[in-house]
Amino acid sequence: MTGRHREGQPYSLVYRRVWDGPARAEAERLSQVWPEWTVFYSLSKRSFHAVASWDSPHLVMVEDATTEGLEERMREAEMNRLLRAAPPQRGGGESPSAEGTAGKRRRGGRAA
């Protein structure tokens, strides 16, 4: 019989190997710092991933090779969320009725 458990002999201990322990610890720290995100480290891609936990019609997930880059992408995603939720603002101070055909311009800068 082959292997680590042979009959009549003491077995040898096999220690669990933690792959990329510091990166996983950093992902756990980010999950605590950013409570609306779940952060994890992908061993196969060697990159950090974050999934937003807020209500959204689609999955919000960002990825980066560094924690600094991941945090920047998380900030961008949160900013986009806020911009989509904000009501549109009118610009220019003009009233909608002032946009009649007299105010519109044709090609070449001449009034219509």
Q: Is residue 92 part of a domain?
A: no
Q: Is residue 69 part of a domain?
A: yes
Q: What is the pLDDT of residue 85?
A: 81
Q: Is residue 4 part of a domain?
A: no
Query: 67-85 and 21-33 helices cross at what angle (nearest 10)?
Result: 30
pTM: 0.62
Q: What is the pLDDT of residue 6?
A: 67
Q: Is residue 59 part of a domain?
A: yes
Q: Is residue 75 part of a domain?
A: yes
Q: Is residue 1 part of a domain?
A: no
78 phi/psi in degrees, rounded to 5: -65, -40
pLDDT in tens, 7-58: 777 777 777 777 788 999 999 999 999 999 999 999 999 999 999 998 888 8
Dist CA 111 CA 100 (whole Å): 11
The boundaries of the domain holding residue 64 are 22-84
pLDDT in tens, 47-95: 999 999 988 888 999 999 999 999 999 999 999 998 888 777 776 555 5
